[in-house]
Amino acid sequence: MKVIAIANQKGGCGKTTTAVALSAALGHNGVRVLLIDLDPQAHATAAAGYNSAKVSKSIYNVMTKVDNRSCELGDAVLIMEEKFDLVPSCGLLSVIEQEFKDSPHAVSKLHNAISSNLAAYDYVIIDCPPSLGFLTFNALRAANSVIIPIDMGYFSLMGVNKVLDMVELLDSKTGHKPYVKALATMYDRRTTFSEEIIKSLKERFKENLFSTRIGVNVDLRKASRDGISVLRYDMSSSGARDYLSLADEIIESQGEEPFEELESLRIPREEIAHSLDEEEVEVKPSPTRMRTFFNRLSRISRRPVFGKDSVFETLTKKR
């Protein structure tokens, strides 16, 4: 069995979308898949068509130490019309860290629960919350590999180094070191900015960057709105195709995972800063920004904003 955690501290970089669509795509290949929703916001649960307020057992019950609430992993599994099973999440999961604050072994809680169900699945996919606390730590401890989704932006790149810090901390505390791989998400081949980020990711991650890139595709949003996987929503959509290609890559790479030193995967600050510059160039000038810009230029150049010899006249003059 292979356990894959999907983690990045940044929200909105495609963790949940990847967790749900990848589970469906792996299942489409005939392997047995379990998706565990480890985010108290329960987005993966909703994207799989369940109301987290109405599920009777969730990953909280699997992990809690409150006896009369606790259950086995197998008891929380929902069998769905999809080609994967789901252990849902619920809001209560957000208090779990409090329950374990005095227990040093709590980091292996999820790992132990999954290990007791080894025979049932070929793949377990864990959707992590957008924070690097107790829950993500448990997911990394349980995982053989970690996928870091990186949407083409600055904060997502920063998230990479934070996940690597956490993997190192885990290694020093438990001796467990999952394999780390980056996945480009929300890739837009029309922008040079996406290309720049891909270039820097390729240099940094080499074979630890999936060759599959997940393009921007509105069907991925529509599918989660409808509570079904993108494969069921529209098998011919580019979102479905991208995640099927990712599943192929994962199945093919089984067993051959060269371990890169984490240090070499770190993204240097200058590269992150460079991508920030690029990102700012792409920001559309709002009227307020323009006004501030003109006022500033007018102050510096000691010229009026409008009229004769003004900043406006200079900037709009045809050359």
Residue 250 Cβ vs ligand ADP, minimum distance, rounded to whole Å:
17
Instruction: Report the nearest approach of ligand ADP to the CB of residue 35 (Å).
Output: 13
Identify what 156 binds: ligand ADP, Mg ion, none; CB under 5 to 8 Å per kind: none
Rounded to whole angstroms, what are the CA distances from 144 to 131, 179, 201, 301?
Answer: 20, 6, 22, 60
Site for ligand ADP in 33-52 (CB under 6 A): 43
For residue 10, state whether it binds Mg ion (rule: CB under 5 A): no
| CB of 43 or CB of 83, closer to Mg ion | 43
Q: Decide: is 8 part of the binding site for Mg ion (CB under 5 A).
A: no
Half-sphere exposure of 25 (CA within 13 A, CB side): 25
Shortest Cβ 241–ligand ADP spacing (Å): 12
186 near ligand ADP (CB under 6 A): yes
- Contact residue for ligand ADP among 22, 135, 148, 214 (CB under 6 A): 214
Helices (H) and strands (E) in the chain, counts: 15, 8
When asked if residue 213 is in the footprint of ligand ADP (CB under 6 A), the reply is no
DSSP assignment, residue 228?
S
Span of 15-23, 108-116, 227-235, 243-251 interacting with ligand ADP by CB under 6 A: 15-23
* Cα distance between residue 76 and residue 58, in whole Å: 6
Give residue for tokens 């998230």: 159
220 binds ligand ADP, rule: CB under 6 A: yes
36, β-bridge pairs: 87, 126
Tokens of 113: 């629960």
**Cα–Cα distance list, 117 to 32, 39, 73, 123 (Å):** 13, 21, 7, 11
Binding site for ligand ADP (CB under 6 A): 11-17, 43, 130, 185-186, 214, 216-217, 220-221, 224
